[in-house]
Structure 1
Amino acid sequence: MGRLIAVVLFIAVLVPGVLLARAWALAADRRAVAAAAVGFTTPTPEGLAVLGRQAQHGRRVRRLGLVLGVAGIGGSIALFGEASVFLWLPALVLGLLLGVVLAEATRPRPRWRTSSPSRRPRQSELISLVLLWSMRAVVAAELTTAVLTWQRGDLPDSVGWVAVAVPLVAWVLAEVALLRTLVRPLPAEGADVPVDEALRTWTAHLVTAAVSVLALLPLGVLLLTAGIDLGDRVTQGIDLLPVALVAGGFAGLAAGLALAVFLVTWLKPVRVDDRALTT
């Protein structure tokens, strides 16, 4: 009976990760609609210039993220020596994800005439609020888990600082980027409105996905490690806490990896494709 309860609990804890992956799959459809809307219009010269400038800025800052990842590899070598060989890939991924969030948070303001009176979109028009609040919940869970694990002495100080500081900084940058998508007025020219909407949608999804991955992967590792450690204890009766922690760790890792696949395919900039006008 105890084994059956453990299996049911394990499956139940995995369900939120599956639902989150499904929600992100639906988000890909929203981005596709925004991209198709750009193809049905002819942007103004100012709109085309904005697209080129935004794409160039994103590439430059993401290269900076690559530099940060390489610097992180060097720092891990200095701190952990030969043991750092297992940290090279996480350090590189960490830098790349920070580069994605930083690129969106620092995007230059579009140089086109804004609407008068000013009109601004609602958050729900750009991204699902479920995804947005799930990102915030995952960040809060990762920070709480990291702090508790650090206080118990299960994390070295160097790892603890990274596990707390990096997701926190990325979350702050993401909130800045999301706020900028809301306070910027819509363009005055109707042909530029789909372009502006696509740019805002790209930013909202990129920062939310990048921060979610930055929180899900370390959260999964922390939960999985804690569950394995608790599983080594000798207890009386049925102890479901290790099962729940291991299941939560697997769910976090699976959801983070699945979302990372979406994120890689979403890094392409918004493009003007006139095929929709000729077919």
Structure 2
Amino acid sequence: MLFIALMVPAAMLARGWSLASGRRAVASAGVEFVPVTPEATAQLARQATHAHRVRLLGLLLGLALVVSTVVLFAEASVFLWVPALAVGLLAGVLLAEATRPRPRWATASPARRPRRSEQISLWLLWTMRAAVAGVVLTALLQVDDLASPVVATATAVPLAGWLLAEAALLRVWLRPLPAEGADVPVDEAQRTWTAHLSVAAASVLALLPLGALLLRAAIDLGDQVTSDGAGLLPVALVAGGFSAIIAGLVVAGFLVTWLRPVRQASPALA
């Protein structure tokens, strides 16, 4: 029962991201229902090109990390290839969102800014932050191993991803809303895409290392357990570790659906 109970957060997170897909559909529909303007078309093309280029750099970074693991660990590096490539790809997603070029359309006067809840569910946002905090806390509890390359990397990568995600979120929140017109739905869709891509990528970078650290802690603690009562803690850590890993994989699946850029075609009511 304890194992099942600790899997509930992963199910709740999956539910939250499934609801976020509805927000994506609404934002896409809003773009489709406005007239096509040269400014909006140029802006969307510019944003898509930027994202493609930076994500390609992320892929190259991932391949470079794979080569580095081969050089450092030889045959033993085979288990690190997928994590290294994933880190590079997710870093590319986060860098693309944190460095998106600012739109060139006119802003509202006086300047108006959206509420955070209009861009992304606060539940998803704080889940990302909680996962990063969990990584740091779990690493600190393993203070004796904090200097080891595995624990240090598993802590540094989520922190770096979180900083990039917060930078991207801050940029879209501080950017004033556009003036009234056809640019408003396009701008809202771009903010929605950036918020969800940033939070999803940072969540994956935090949840998977969190699961690995919890499993490592369970193994270390299991060797020290001598009484039956204390044996529940390793079980809880194992359940929490698997829950975090499953949640990370689920979020990664939803992240893929957000990678397609915002597109504008002919108005649906034309």
Report the Cα distance in structure 2 between the residues aligned to 1:276 and 1:101, rounded to whole angstroms. 32
CA contact (8 A) 2:34 2:267 kept: no
1:199-278 to structure 2, matched below 5 A, reads 199-238=190-229, 239-274=231-266, 276-278=268-270
Report the Cα distance in structure 1 between the residues aligned to 2:210 and 2:169, rounded to whole angstroms. 23
Equivalent residue number for residue 113 of structure 1: 106
| SS in structure 2 of the partner of residue 240 of structure 1 | helix
Q: Choose 233-242 or 267-276, whichever is displaced more.
A: 233-242
1:94 to 47, 69, 87: 87
Equivalent residue number for residue 138 of structure 2: 145
Q: Would you say 1:12 and 2:5 are equivalent positions?
A: yes
Report the Cα distance in structure 2 between the residues aligned to 1:126 and 1:33, rounded to whole angstroms. 12
1:25-104 to structure 2, matched below 5 A, reads 25-104=18-97
Letter in 1 for 2:176: P
Report the Cα distance in structure 2 between the residues aligned to 1:82 and 1:146, rounded to whole angstroms. 27
When the two chains are superposed, the root-mean-square deviation of aligned CA atoms in Å is 1.5
Letter in 2 for 1:249: G
Report the Cα distance in structure 2 between the residues aligned to 1:19 and 1:94, rounded to whole angstroms. 25
Q: Would you say 1:187 and 2:178 are equivalent positions?
A: yes
- After TM superposition, the score normalised by the length of structure 2 is 0.95
In structure 2, stretches of 5+ residues that fail to align are none
CA contact (8 A) 1:147 1:164 kept: no
Identity of aligned residues (%): 65
Report the Cα distance in structure 2 between the residues aligned to 1:165 and 1:93, rounded to whole angstroms. 15
Letter in 2 for 1:256: G
- Residue 229 of structure 1 and its aligned partner are, at CA, apart by 3.6
Letter in 2 for 1:24: W
Report the Cα distance in structure 2 between the residues aligned to 1:169 and 1:148, rounded to whole angstroms. 20
CA contact (8 A) 2:27 2:185 kept: yes
Alignment: residue pair count: 269
- After TM superposition, the score normalised by the length of structure 1 is 0.92
Pair 145,188 (structure 1): closer, same or farther in 2 beyond 3 Å: same
Q: Choose 264-273 or 159-168, whichever is displaced more.
A: 159-168
Query: Could you report, residue by residue, the CA deviation over 1:39-88 in whole angstroms, capped at 9, with x for unpaired residues?
Result: 11014211111100000000000001011101111221222222111100
1:150-189 to structure 2, matched below 5 A, reads 151-153=143-145, 157-189=148-180
Equivalent residue number for residue 196 of structure 1: 187
Equivalent residue number for residue 133 of structure 1: 126
